[in-house]
Every structure is written in C-alpha cells, then in structure tokens.
Amino acid sequence: MRTRVRFAPSPTGPLHMGGVRTALYNYLYAKQHGGDFIIRIEDTDSHRFVPGAEKYIIDSLRWCGIIPDEGVDENGNVVETASPKHPHAPYRQSQRRGIYRKYAEELVAKGYAYYAFDSSESLENERKEAESKGETFIYNYESRKNLRNSLTLPEEEVKKLLQETTDWTVRFKMPENTVVKMDDMIRGHIEVNTATLDDKVLWKRADELPTYHLANIVDDHLMEITEVIRGEEWLPSLPLHYLLYQAFGWKDTQPRFAHLPLLLKPVGNGKLSKRDGDKMGFPVFPLNWLNSDGETYHGYREDGYFPQAFVNMLAMLGWNPGTEQELFSMQELIDSFSIEKVSKSGAKFNPDKAKWYNKEYLRMTSDSELAEEFIPILDENGVTADKEKVEAVVALIKERATFVKDFWGICSYLFKAPQEYVQKDVDKFWKPENVGMAFEAMENTADAASMEEYIRAHEMPMGKVMNCIRLALTGASSGLGIADIMRFIGRDEALSRLKAAREKLG
Ligand code: GLU
C-alpha cells in the first residue's frame, strides 16, 4: 500500500512552531516511504475561522521547504478542482460540505448515532443545574436517556422535527461500558473505557456542516490516509475515532496513529506558548504574524533564521537519531527519521539551541551567498561595495556571527569610519604618550606588518599602542585584528582615522 499522510490544520490563527513540527514529521515520514504528503484544510468551525491563517500556514511550510504532493498547487493555493495530481479536491472541508451528511445519516441508520433535538438553551440549563449540584453535565450514555433525541422521542415526532426544525444535530452513540483497545506508533497499546466518554456531535443541521471528528475520519478514509501523525492534544479523541472506523466498517483500511509529544517551555513545565516567547525574546512562530489586535508575533524568518536551521532544530525536538549527529540536511532527515524514535514525553524547547543551529548553518553557508544577503544591509547603511570585497569581509567575520543581521554591527568600521568611541576604552587606552607612539608608528610605515615591526624595533609597548590604534580605527578596543582591518581600509584611511580620533578625543 502506498504511504499517504496528511497535515490537516484548522485555519484558526498562525501556525505555532509545534504545528510546523507536526507537518515536518509527516513530510519526513512520507518522503522516507516514497509516499505522498497531503494538505487538507479543516475549516468546518466557522466561529474560529481567522482570515489569512490558511495562507500563513502554507507560506510557512513553503519557507521551511515542506512541499506538499497533494492539496496545494505550485503557487501555494489550496486545490479546489480535482485533477490526476489532486484527485480528492476540494481539499478545504468547508467546500466538501455536501459529502458528510450521508455518512452521518448512515451511522444513524446503523444504530451508531442518533438525532438530538435539544436546544442550546435547554443544554445550557442542564449545565447550570448540574453545576449548582457541584456536578458537570455530560451528554453521554446515561444522560441521553432523559434528553430530547431519537432514542427517547416517538418515531413520528422525530420525523416531524427532522423536517420542520433546523437546529438538530447528529450525535455519536457512545457504547456503554466498553473497553476500546488502541495502538499508537509512539505510545504503544492504550485502553480506554467508554464510560468516560461523551456523545460527540458529528454533524449539525443548522450550518449543514460536520464537526471535526466526522469530517476528519471521513476524509482520512476517502483520501486513503495510511498514517495519522498529529499532536498529543488529539489523543483523547482517539477512542472515538477508533469507534467511528468500526461503525463505518472501515477497520481494514483504518490508518495507524502516532501522537507526537508536546513542545514544552524552556523553563518550568507546561506547553510552550506565545507568552514564553514574548517573555524570553524568542520566536514561537515560523513567520511574522500581524494579529487583529495590531500586535505582531515574531517569526523565525524575520528574526533572521535560516529555514534549514529552523527545520533541523525542530526535527530534533522530540526525535533523536540515536547517534551524536545534530546537523541534518532535509535529505538526511528523510533518510534517518523514524516515528519509533520519537519520544513519548514532552520536548523542552531551548532558545539557545535554536541560535546554535543558526550559527552552524551560517558557518556552512558559502561566503558568496552570505555576501548576497549582506549587500542589501550595506545598502541600507549607505555603503556600496563590490561583491568580491563583501565576500572577503564575510569570510573574515562569519565565525563571530549568529545571524546575517549581526554582520553590520561586527564590521561596519571596515566600510565607514567610526562616529563614536566607547568611553571606557577611551579612558583606558587613549593616553597622550600612546597616541604619540601610534602616530609615529603609522606615519613611518606602509602597512600593518611593517608597523608592528616598527613598534617592536623601537621597543614601544605593543598592547598599548595597538589598542590605541584599534580605538581610532573601530571606535572600540575589541574587534578584528589590526592587520585585517588595515588590509581592508588601507593605510591612508587608517592614518586619517587616527587623525580624526585625535581631533575628537584630544
Ligand atoms: N484539524 C486538526 C488540527 O487542527 C487536525 C487534527 C488531526 O490531525 O487529526 O490540529
């Protein structure tokens, strides 16, 4: 059987990095098995729909290099019309609404589901009443016996209500006191007694839409999904999903399930949230997102991360190859990934590790590519330099940077004379006797090498003189080696910076 997995996001907001990881693991699994990775948009909950979220999700995956085989076309649009490449279109559940009713009705006919006519007000009253007794109201195998549904009302009345009213639903008839036996590719065997489960709504007459559970099972079946790889938050739904496959008579083709561990906050316990990101200053989302309240959520892309570094870091959050290897290209991830090696327990996110990955990828990126990225930044700072020079600069500084955006701060003085001098360095190194020696050494030599020789030959204090020169050249006493700096700016520019410093600092 051909492997077919899907990522099935609901467009209820920007995709959290945990969601990207779910998509990534699905993608890796599909590619490793020579199968298909499908995108399906689960947008049947119109109350939670957020404009722009679908595009954000697709753009995020594209940025990461997670390219679907089916469901989204080359231009990043969700496919609406069936074709050989996209046989199950439309891939947006809201556009598939016509499909689901008959499945809901089929379950009623077979006795696995029933019609429920309780108004939202009457259910609200039940809830309040239970609350006043310190209990919680659950629509389940017990309470359904006293509620208004096709199990309790006379047949004639049911027929009438179905025809004349529009706020009824189809609910799953959870079997009484039955143990559901399940298998998870990560967690192993699981058993749950149905007594703890409620009669979930599957379909709503009011908007003629299925709920998540029905649409999800029907579509996974129709789309011939072989493995469902999704977040741990869906584990409580697994018994219902098992029972739905059984009720439909689809046991033979039921997909296997894998529930991925949560991403945890860097300190303490609990799920990684946007708030942790705000507090500790790291991104939790792949791309920037402008929220409806005007707040911008930070994205890895805009914060300067390479998509490969982000993907590599995410892959390792909850999975490890069982070796020491930490750096993986996408192809290497495809080759080494295995669901069985995904951990059961939550994966603690470490923002420093994310930076470490970026630093490693920056190092591995060619000088030429880095120069291409740096040139626009130079432009913004009013510097025009030819590519060859920029490449040489990049080669010199890349080990010191984590992001390309660090470059300018590290080496601006290779392109522009410093405008300011760090005061504590001035206090420490800009002493009249050192300044005098610095001038003498530079004026009497043609380059950094001979200048060093001169200082040595004249028994001047090397450290003091050099720091004085460095201060004049860069504005501070730290930075690149003087020989490197002078190679870039030339001896004449160096001398003029020394003069400028004397004018400003005395
Ligand atoms: N639409 C669900 C979500 O937003 C999909 C869950 C699943 O993969 O079954 O996470």
**Across all residues in the chain, what is the average pLDDT?**
96
Give the DSSP letter of residue 342. Answer: B
Sheet of 113-116, strand order: 113-116, 169-172, 201-204, 209-210
- 411-469 tens-digit pLDDT: 999 999 999 999 999 999 999 999 999 999 999 999 999 999 999 999 999 999 999 99
* SS3 state of residue 114: strand
Q: Of 330, 349, 368, at which residue does a domain stop? A: 349
The pLDDT score that the predictor gives to residue 479 is: 86
**CA 31 vs CA 25, 246, 329, 330: distances in Å:** 10, 29, 14, 10
Q: Measured from the CA of 6, which atom of ligand 1 is nearest? A: 8
Is the pLDDT at 46 greater than 90? The verdict is no
67 & 157 share domain: no
33 & 114 share domain: no
Is the pLDDT at 269 greater than 90? The verdict is no
The pLDDT score that the predictor gives to residue 278 is: 85
Q: What is the CATH number of the domain that holds 496?
A: 1.10.10.350
Distance 198 CA to ligand 1 centre (A): 19
435 & 497 share domain: yes
- Do the beta carbons of residue 266 and residue 42 sit within 8 Å? no
Q: Which helix (H) or strand (E) holds 110?
A: none
Domain that holds residue 211: 96-219
Give the DSSP letter of residue 195. Answer: G
On whether residue 22 sits in a domain, the answer given is yes
Is the pLDDT at 225 greater than 90? The verdict is yes
What's the total number of domains in the chain?
3
* CA atoms of 363 and 277, how far apart (whole Å): 26
Distance 105 CA to ligand 1 centre (A): 23
3 & 50 share domain: yes
Distance 22 CA to ligand 1 centre (A): 10
Q: Measured from the CA of 212, which atom of ligand 1 is nearest? A: 1
Is the pLDDT at 133 greater than 90? The verdict is yes
Contact 216 CB / ligand 1 (< 6 Å): yes
Q: What is the pTM of this model?
A: 0.94
What's CA 282's distance to the chain center, in Å?
A: 12
Q: What is the CATH number of the domain that holds 136?
A: 3.90.800.10
Alpha helices in 254-329 (DSSP H): 274-280, 307-315
Distance 4 CA to ligand 1 centre (A): 16
Mutate to test the pocket of ligand 1, among 42, 44, 54 (most ligand atoms within 8 A of CB): 42
132 & 207 share domain: yes
The pLDDT score that the predictor gives to residue 352 is: 97
Q: Measured from the CA of 237, which atom of ligand 1 is nearest? A: 9
Choose, from 31, 204, 265, 274, the residue flagged as catalytic: 274
What's CA 470's distance to the chain center, in Å?
A: 43
107 & 182 share domain: yes
* CA atoms of 259 and 186, how far apart (whole Å): 7
Mutate to test the pocket of ligand 1, among 7, 10, 262 (most ligand atoms within 8 A of CB): 10
Let me know if 274 is a catalytic residue: yes
Distance 214 CA to ligand 1 centre (A): 12
